[in-house]
Amino acid sequence: MGLLGFSLMLLSMLQIVASQQVTDPNEVEALNKIISHWNLGTKLNISGVDPCTQNATWAPDSANPQIACHCAGTTCHVTRLKVYALDISGEIPNELFNLKELQNLNLAQNVLSGPIPPEIGQLTNMQYLTVGINNLSGPVPPELGNLTKLLSLGISSNNFQGPLPAELGNLTSLQQLYIDSSGVSGPIPQQLSSLKSLMKLWASDNLFTGKIPEFLGTFTDFIDLRLEGTMLEGPIPTSLGALTKLDDLRIGDLSMEDSSLDFVENMTSLSILSLRNCRLAGLIPEKLSTFSNLKTLDVSFNSLSGNLPLNSAKVGLSMNVVGTSVNANSLLDGKASGMLQCLVGGTKCSNKVPATSFSIKCGGTVQTSASGIKFDDDTETLGAASIYSSSDHQWAVSNTGSYISNPNGPQYTTQTDSQIMETLESELYKSARISPSSLRYYGLGLMNGKYNVELHFAEIQMDDNSSHSWKGLGRRLFDVYIQGERVLQDFNIKNEAGGSKRALVRTFEANVTNTVMDIHFFWAGRGTCCIPYQSTYGPLVSAIHVSQASNGISSSKRDKKRVGRIVGVAVGCAAGLVIISSVFYLWWTKEKPTHMRVHTDAPRKV
């Protein structure tokens, strides 16, 4: 071959190479380091292949892990990296920030720990970023405010500390912000008022302080707002009345000032309206009855009253009728009405000799413990607002609330096949009652006096947090009231027992003065919502054993003034299913019109 021929050949080789698109070598190196850092080699093997090769197995959206690229001219850049729900652990490696052209980063549902490094601020092309459900800690980096192209940011269900950085206010294109259960605390920065594009904000279960910001009412594209279980103070700003595109509004657990419900009057697109435990007072706006999309209305644990015109609405209504001006007896069948009467203390709950103990196998079948205690069957199917009394009328159970995001999900009991540790009575803990809102047990016809209340718990829905899986990162938090006094707040069975599927017994003293013992398990909006699956939250209890204390006070006088026992009752009536309870709870389905007077009641001492 002559020199000319050789030169031509060399030229054509160069042309071939030049016409091929190759990934930026810095990014290839970074990818290799990331893959090795997270031990992804077997799931994502790019060795010897250009990561941006067309039609690579890891390129399509359905791939996980996924690497997707954008190529221009001869150079390709990684624009998308997804490592989703693969239980990768360790920290976020700095090599990640060499993928300068990333637009979409999904590291959700893993067990990443450590901080989000401030270098995240270099990835200024980012549009979709989520690290939701991990074990990340440290501050939420202010550098996130540099990612001004962000459309969606998710840091939910982590262990961040400190306040939200004011710099997030620079994310003026942001449409979706998921920060629920992220660990952040303190005031919500005023700078967030610049997030004018926001359509979805999930911010529940954070230790926010101060008032609910007025500026939320200027985000007129809002369709989904969740703000439950924070330390925010009422009132609900009337500015929120401008959010007429809202489809789903959930606010809960407000302190301080009362709010009126009138602000919802123009929110005609609502399909879910949940305002539990918000110190709502005043009348229920009549306009609610014209909201044709409304499927779920929960205004439980407030002090609303008024006439509810249920035009063309369905009745599935629960309300407190006890200790109020409401006369609901006409709605009740004889049995339920009798039960209500006895719970208010108006009549005796049973004609038997007063009992001095009762024991319940919550959510399970009858069982006798090694120590000879017979725990009664409590497997009756409960609805979204119902009361059930044991066949011997020794106790009753009342449940209210529905799993809004998972209506066909858990039906108020849960079971496991696993052995339960730290107990000789494993069977006692293999089933439990659960509730998305309020679960209340009443001991009936008790001799007045001093009692020991033994509550048995074991976390059987959430995995252990030593499982090295995101499924172990869930936090269940709830409160317990006995005879109206809060005895446990933000109670976390898993932490207290030292892991899941471990038994835990808590014992309290309480006095019975009016033949009734009231044990109330209450969700105050706290804890993770969805680990390991949708609607894993709210109270859980395995068994209850109540017995008179030996040095019981012998009080025979009845406390006639006690009012406000609160129950859930489901009864049939001409209009359909009417549910009477501590809550006013309503499902709009198409049924016959009816009118009824309702009053809801706040059960919590403030």
Ligand X SMILES: *[C@@H]1O[C@H](CO)[C@@H](O)[C@H](O)[C@H]1NC(C)=O
Q: Which residues bind ligand X (CB under 6 A)?
A: 41-42, 45, 47-48, 54-55, 111, 113, 121-122, 135, 137, 142-143, 145-146, 166-167, 169-170, 191, 241-242, 262-263, 265-266, 450, 465, 472-473, 495, 498-499, 509-511, 553
Query: Measured from the CB atom, is 21 or 406 closer to ligand X?
Result: 21
At its nearest, how many Å lie between ligand X and the CB of residue 165? 8
Distance of alpha carbon 56 from alpha carbon 66, whole angstroms: 10
Q: Is 284 exposed, middle or buried (0-12, 13-18, 19+ CB in 10 A)?
A: buried
Query: Measured from the CB atom, is 443 or 499 closer to ligand X?
Result: 499
At its nearest, how many Å lie between ligand X and the CB of residue 31? 13
At its nearest, how many Å lie between ligand X and the CB of residue 352? 24
Distance of alpha carbon 437 from alpha carbon 141, whole angstroms: 34
- Apex 236 CA angle, 234 and 238, nearest 5: 140
- Dihedral sign, Cα of residue 317, residue 320, residue 322, residue 326: negative
Query: Measured from the CB atom, is 139 or 145 closer to ligand X?
Result: 145
At its nearest, how many Å lie between ligand X and the CB of residue 192? 9
Distance of alpha carbon 353 from alpha carbon 350, whole angstroms: 8
- C-beta neighbour count of 466 within 10 angstroms: 10
Query: Measured from the CB atom, is 110 or 413 closer to ligand X?
Result: 110
Structure tokens at 502: 């471990």
At its nearest, how many Å lie between ligand X and the CB of residue 55? 4
Q: Is the peptide bond before 532 cis (omega within 30 degrees of 0)?
A: yes
Query: Measured from the CB atom, is 7 or 124 closer to ligand X?
Result: 124
At its nearest, how many Å lie between ligand X and the CB of residue 553? 5
- C-beta neighbour count of 117 within 10 angstroms: 17
At its nearest, how many Å lie between ligand X and the CB of residue 14? 21
Distance of alpha carbon 248 from alpha carbon 222, whole angstroms: 9
Query: Measured from the CB atom, is 251 or 578 closer to ligand X?
Result: 251
**Residue whose C-alpha is closest to residue 502's, from 510, 490, 493, 511:** 493
At its nearest, how many Å lie between ligand X and the CB of residue 412? 25
At its nearest, how many Å lie between ligand X and the CB of residue 50? 11
Distance of alpha carbon 383 from alpha carbon 373, whole angstroms: 28
Query: Measured from the CB atom, is 145 or 576 closer to ligand X?
Result: 145
**Residue whose C-alpha is closest to residue 105's, from 142, 138, 77, 68:** 68
**Residue whose C-alpha is closest to residue 184's, from 163, 155, 212:** 163
CA distances from 539 to 47, 57, 523 (A): 49, 44, 6
Query: Measured from the CB atom, is 142 or 186 closer to ligand X?
Result: 142
Query: Measured from the CB atom, is 142 or 354 closer to ligand X?
Result: 142
- C-beta neighbour count of 509 within 10 angstroms: 11
